[in-house]
Amino acid sequence: MTKKEVISLVQKKNTNKTKFSKRLIVALFMLTFIFLFMLGRLSYIMIVKSPKYKSEALKQWTSNLKIPAKRGQILDRNGLELAVSMNSYRLDLDMTTLRQTLMDKKMTNEQLSEKLSSVINMPADEISKILNRTSSDGNPIRFAILTRGIDKSQADKVKALDFRGIIISSDSKRYYPNNAFLSSVLGFVNAEGKGVSGVELTYDKELSGTPGSTIFQTDNKSSQLPFADSEYSAPVDGKDLILTIDENIQLVAERAATRALNSSGAKSVSITVMDPKTGDILAMVSKPDFDPNNPYKKDSKRTTKSIEDLLRVDAVQNSFEPGSIFKVITAYAAIKEGVANENSTFVCNGSLNVDGHTIYCWERNGHGTESFADIIKNSCNVGFMQLGKSLGKEKLTSYTKQFGFGQKTGIDLPGESSGIIKNADKMNNVDLASLAFGQGLSVTAVQYLSAFNAIANGGTWIRPHIMKEIRHTDENNKTTIDKQFSEFDKKQIVDSVTAATLRGYLEQVVSKGVGNNAFIEGYHIAGKTGTAEKANLKGGGYETDKYFSSFAGMAPANDPKVTLLVSIDEPDPTINYYAGQVSAPVAKELFNDIFSYMIMKGQLSLN
């Protein structure tokens, strides 16, 4: 080999060695980069993302089950059960486990929905919606509530299906032992056990209690690991709600309202009974009604009312033009202001012209010459229009507001309406004349009775209320009263002497006047009838042949123990619509039965 060839070979080896060294450096650099990248990524996962992954891992191997608190009872003033909670079961879904189970069994969500539907009496499409539900970010949900309140036989059938991911646990179910009894006042709870209407809604927080929980570690089949740590927090049961309602008086009112609804052909009937000295509501009825055990069940009684309307507490949420029962307020104002007394005279020819508008008395032939007592007992519109003119817009409106009209009473039931009254500066003479006999304003039953109670009790306005007290019983069976109703907001709005005088006039309405159909010998019932035309809410003016007929009463007149208001909405005009014929007889039945009960209980003596 020549010297030149040797030199060339050495140079070639050196070149190859240099190339190899460069490749080695590149490889080492790449390996170093990959190592550093993996180290950084691992550090990111272990340090930055650690809380998230730890949380997700805990979710996978731990189960957190809520233990529902038992909802408190609702009782009447004598301790009789109106709403109770019964032992039942609930179905919850561990969706991750359930999806795996469906894959193992080669089943679809829809097939499972059909199987469950026949067991728990829940529509398959509703079950399917729950099974296919996704979170806000579009990912499948991990946990869902399927249903609550199923009985043991249903729970056993679900267990027999052997589907991992369906969790069966104890629960409680709301039950109303008297079905539709007092339904609008009680309201009902939804599938989650939350109050929807009535006192179930108003006192939901007190009745609900505080749920407990149990946290434990699980295996891949969602079964609790036997030796793992667990945490348990006991539920705190809800408190019991004691109402002012007297079940016996409520029963009397329920029966009377049902008979009135059937006999009058009316759209609805509302009855409220109160203790005028305390503001206690002793009975409150709205007919037609619903069964809170199955509130959405279709019923033939609902031909004139939807379930939404049935859920309303008529006496609290529905306002109406009072008509002649409002004359009690006008009469009080007239006595107090000295514009009328027992020597005053009025002439009724059947109508009165007010600024070119002819306004009729209900007695189109007129009542002739009358005294102040006569226009009250005859419910003469003309006489009261004259009183309204004498009082003037400012004074009559002032008394109307003084009695609480146009503002909420603050009753402890949901959705209270405030009613409507016009301000004096927006009234004309026709408005004044109409207001004097109870048209052109709207009131609620509890609003009116609160004002009426002030006449009955000698002058004090007291907030109407349905709650008597809230209490609980501990594990030692010791009962503690947590709260008693105390928000009476008492106000002296009426002069006691004037109130006593007016009660005497109102007793004559029943003994000698238009309320005679409520008369019972020896009971000294004082009251006022009211037949109001119903306002046309769409076209203005008043409806043809649609009336709201009421009777407000108190007894005994010298010291009333009970006040009541009977309201009949749209009685069939072909039968009768005057309050003296359709509402007063209902009041007579009520007073007779209520007083018989109170005498038997020793709560009343008519001697």
Is-contact 483 207, C-beta < 8 A?
no
The CA distance from 607 to 605, in Å, is 6
State the pairing for strand pair 240-243/74-75: parallel
Is-contact 442 320, C-beta < 8 A?
yes
Q: 57: exposed, middle or buried (C-beta count within 10 Å: 0-12, 13-18, 19+)?
A: exposed
Residue showing tokens 């004598």: 78
Which is nearest to 173 in space by CA: 153, 195, 189, 154?
189
3-state secondary structure of 406: coil
The CA distance from 591 to 566, in Å, is 12
The CA distance from 188 to 316, in Å, is 17
Q: 202: exposed, middle or buried (C-beta count within 10 Å: 0-12, 13-18, 19+)?
A: buried
From the list 324, 434, 450, 550, the catalytic residue is 324
Largest CA distance in the chain: 158
Cα 485 to Cα 42, 73, 284, 300, distances in angstroms: 63, 17, 18, 38
The CA distance from 468 to 447, in Å, is 19
Non-local (6+) Cβ contacts of 116 within 8 A are 122, 124, 127, 146, 158, 161
Is-contact 432 397, C-beta < 8 A?
no
Which is nearest to 508 in space by CA: 492, 491, 528, 494?
528
Which is nearest to 243 in space by CA: 82, 479, 446?
82
3-state secondary structure of 413: coil
Could you give the residue ranges of the DSSP H alpha helices within 163-300?
Answer: 183-186, 198-202, 204-208, 247-264
Could you give the residue ranges of the DSSP H alpha helices within 463-545?
Answer: 496-511
Is-contact 330 396, C-beta < 8 A?
yes
Which pair of structure tokens corresponds to residue 192?
């989650």
Is-contact 187 308, C-beta < 8 A?
no
DSSP string, 45-84: IIIISHHHHHHHHHHHHEEEEEEPPPPPPEE-TTS-EEEE
Task: Show the beta-strand stretches assigned E in 397-516.
Answer: 460-461, 467-473, 479-484, 491-492
Q: Which residues face 270 on adjacent strands? A: 286, 567
Cβ neighbours around 79 below 10 Å, total: 10
Q: Is 324 labeled as catalytic in the residue annotation?
A: yes
Residues with a known catalytic role: 324
